[in-house]
Structure 1
Amino acid sequence: MHKGCAYHGSVPKLPDIARNPLAFIAARWTPSPVAVRRAALAALVMSVVIVITGGAVRVTASGLGCPTWPTCNGDSLLGTREMGIHHTIEISNRMLTYVLCATVGWAIIAVRAQQEPPRRSLYRLAWAQFWVVVLNAVWGGLTVLTKLNPYVVSFHFLLSAALITVAVLTWQRTREGDASPRPLVGKPVRQLGQLLTAAAALLIVIGTLVSGAGPHPGESSGSYTVRRIPVDWRTIAQLHADFAWIVVGLTVALWFVLRAVDAPVGPQHRVRELFLVLMGQGVIGYVQYFTHLPAALVDLHMFGACLVWIGTLRVLLSFRERPPAEPGATVPAAATAPAASRVSA
């Protein structure tokens, strides 16, 4: 028995398991809060890993390494080694989807089994990850069926960003209570944070257009000419860089505002972390541009985009706190007022 977990032994009955397997597990195993947080974090990590491997598929021109979907080639689910390195890269990415499903499933089980008290909102978030994974898997198949249509591929990445969003929210909620959120900063600061989040979202959308117009179509066998977005990728890349500087400027402005109002250290730390990630991502972006988009740097830049989005969400979430709910307790008015004078998150 693992430390921090409780097990209630009994002889399992197959009909009970078949009717409601999650309830069956929950009745016999109670994970510790640490175990639940780790399960949610594992799902978040895998949601980023699948983006990196998906990027590797594109930059290595392996997007049609499996020319059909849901099978790989004709009636073969996995294909054969004779299909070459592009097939190996593509099928490896497809198989990692099952690993992602397993980690999300583990998070769902862990949240469901933590019964005291029941956390329905957290349970719904955990299940939301699963449905986004399913939707993105089907959409990934559509990218193959449309022969890597750039608009379809771009939306495939945006669905991955949606999965990361839900995964971050789930992980955050495992570290909080279920009381109503209490703001830690004033409304103008929260609005600035919302503006930063909107700008970061637009930055990611424009980044997908750069990829759709750029020199990495995802397939290079010569058997099929992959469509590209009909614009000069350098023009879109310049717009992408402009938005990146807007995000950096908003981040710096937010940090100064938080310092000026003596905000809690939590939001200040999250903004500082985001700024450092943006600086690293900016260096990668400019290096890849001036070196004509080498494959390794393009994939690294996609990883950086995930970190930027996670950092942005963590900034926004740091503006409030959720203490454990107390049955029958009322929240005093002072607790719901902006807590700019607090010194800790």
Structure 2
Amino acid sequence: MRNPLAFIAERWTPTQRTVQQAALISLVMTCVIVVTGGAVRLTGSGLGCPTWPKCTDESLTATSEMGFHGVIEFGNRMLTYVLCAAVGWAIITMRSQKPWRRSLTRYGWAQFWLVMGNAVLGGIVVLVGLNPYTVAAHFLLSTALIAVATATWQRTREGDDKPRPLVGKAVAQLVWALTGVTVLLIAVGTVVTGAGPHAGDSSDVPRMNVGAVGLDWEGVTKLHAVLAWIVVTLTFALWFVLKAVDAPRGPLNRTRDLFLILLAQGLIGYVQYFSDLPEVLVGAHMLGSCLVWIGVVRVLLSLRERPHATVDVPRPVSSDQLTSA
């Protein structure tokens, strides 16, 4: 039996723009499903469909008796299929591109398997009654998916030559430190969520605790804020260093974009904290978390360039050369 992707690739060649758009769509859909997943939790619809993979023991879909919460939860589940379609379309375009870039296709398949793994983990979240640790793992796996989707989008806009660094080793180390602190910031953010008041369901869902003692939500929130300020400081320091060493526009622009996103995210974070966590602002903060992570990954990827491979084309033979021969 022939590989369906190879069959399509023989008969269709997408434009470079089509491949880039497909990668961008999969990235956008990844962020959409993260935000809608947050909406499920913030509306108390986390157990709107009380089982998995079916919505109830008797029905695959939400029923009218389940009301608003069933619609929200089942709708989020359906968006997983939309995300799969977006990733599938990206894989098809990458496989059909001429010449075929195997490394790029592998990025697409990495997204697919992360989506499948997160779908299974999402089912486990429901089956264990929204245990906050599984909810945190669900979000962190989505964060990994966003990183791969961002890298895929970047790879569609560059070649396959060996990467060439655009900055020195010291600058690269600063960016890796920024990336590491951002990962820690996001991880602590899941603890803030897991110990906070938005349990995800109308019933009493246990919150994160240490042994029999609940976590100090105020203390964890302050730690989250401290880490956020460290990320902001590192980003500003990076921008200053890049200006001092006269770095190319790519890293400078990506660092500037990240700094602006961080300022907006920080403003939302403080407003939601001092206004008793209104659901709309918490949802906006989740979107901001996605954008911050995308911004950091783009800064990291901007430190090198991958030119398109050059192909040596034989020079045409002139008529004089033919005559002399």
Q: Same fold (TM over 0.5)?
A: yes
1:132 to 107, 111, 114: 114
Deviation at 1:233, TM superposition (A): 1.4
Deviation at 1:21, TM superposition (A): 1.1
Deviation at 1:226, TM superposition (A): 0.9
Point out the more displaced range, 210-219 or 229-238.
229-238
- Paired residues for 1:190-339 under 5 Å: 190-220=172-202, 222=203, 225-230=204-209, 231-326=215-310
- 1:188 equivalent in alignment to 2:167: no
- 1:23 equivalent in alignment to 2:9: no
CA distance in 2, matches of 1:203, 1:24: 45
Amino acid at match of 1:293: L
- 1:66 equivalent in alignment to 2:45: no
CA distance in 1, matches of 2:289, 2:187: 11
CA distance in 2, matches of 1:239, 1:290: 16
Q: Percent identity?
A: 64
User: What residue in structure 2 maps to residue 157 of structure 1?
Assistant: 139
Cα deviation digits, residues 62-116 of structure 1 (max 9, x gap): 0000000000011311121221100010000000000000000000000000031
Deviation at 1:47, TM superposition (A): 0.3
CA distance in 1, matches of 2:139, 2:227: 19
Cα deviation digits, residues 137-175 of structure 1 (max 9, x gap): 000000001100000000000010011011001100000
SS at match of 1:55: helix
CA distance in 2, matches of 1:270, 1:74: 49
CA distance in 2, matches of 1:234, 1:133: 33
CA distance in 1, matches of 2:6, 2:301: 31
Amino acid at match of 1:285: G
- 1:114 equivalent in alignment to 2:92: no
User: What residue in structure 2 maps to residue 343 of structure 1?
Assistant: none
CA distance in 2, matches of 1:297, 1:263: 36
User: What residue in structure 1 maps to residue 320 of structure 2?
Assistant: none
CA distance in 1, matches of 2:83, 2:166: 34
Amino acid at match of 1:294: P
Deviation at 1:235, TM superposition (A): 1.0
Cα deviation digits, residues 283-314 of structure 1 (max 9, x gap): 00000000111111111100000000000000
Deviation at 1:327, TM superposition (A): 5.3
Cα deviation digits, residues 235-268 of structure 1 (max 9, x gap): 1110000000000000010011001101011111
**TM-score normalised to structure 1 length:** 0.88
Q: List runs of 5+ in structure 2 lacking aligned partners.
A: 210-214, 314-325
CA distance in 2, matches of 1:110, 1:326: 22
Deviation at 1:328, TM superposition (A): 7.7
User: What residue in structure 1 maps to residue 84 of structure 2?
Assistant: 101
2:152 to 146, 163, 170: 170
CA distance in 1, matches of 2:97, 2:84: 20
What stretches of structure 1 move > 6 A for 4+ residues in a row? Answer: none
CA distance in 2, matches of 1:328, 1:252: 43
**TM-score normalised to structure 2 length:** 0.93
Deviation at 1:227, TM superposition (A): 1.3
Amino acid at match of 2:248: P
User: What residue in structure 1 maps to residue 63 of structure 2?
Assistant: 80
SS at match of 2:113: helix
SS at match of 1:84: helix
Deviation at 1:20, TM superposition (A): 1.5
